[in-house]
Amino acid sequence: MSENSTSVRMDKFLWAARFFKTRALAARACELNRVQSNGHVAKPARDVRVGDMLRITSPAGEYEIKVLLLSEMRGPAAVAQTLFEETEASRDLRAKAAAERKALAHFEPSVRPTKRDRRMIHSFRGD
């Protein structure tokens, strides 16, 4: 963590805070307008400062965070979690989305039907 610097590049912060696996992926997310800083679309070179509110759409979900500390170096996950604070609304929204995905998994077939299963399906349908 760097206490002496007042700002860090957006792509470096997103990578150091472990929202994206590589800095290139973080920069690509910025280019695709998946990162907003204080309500404005953020470019990879935009400065992040302590107190900024970020909205990040990543493969893991959508996050709304407040920046607490700055870092240019990627460290352990425990350290990365101290760099930001997720809002309560963001946590609730992600939990709701996870519950919906889990509920939908029960309705999708988990394995391919066997030959016997297909015959039973065809006989049920009247094919």
What pLDDT, in 10s, does the model give residues 5-54?
Answer: 789 999 999 999 999 999 999 999 999 999 999 999 999 999 999 999 99
Question: How does pLDDT run across 91-117, given as a tens digit for each residue?
Answer: 999 999 888 888 877 776 667 888 998
Per-residue CA distances from 4 to 7, 13, 23, 66, 69 (Å)? 9, 15, 22, 19, 11
Global model pTM greater than 0.85? no
Output the average pLDDT for the chain: 89
Residue 65, pLDDT score: 96
Residue 4, pLDDT score: 56
The helix/strand count (H/E) of the chain reads as 5, 7
Residue 1, pLDDT score: 52
Residue 29, pLDDT score: 95
Residue 113, pLDDT score: 84
Residue 69, pLDDT score: 94
Residue 19, pLDDT score: 94
Q: DSSP 3-state assignment of 78? A: helix
| Environment class of 14 (CB within 10 Å of its CB; exposed 0-12, middle 13-18, buried 19+) | buried
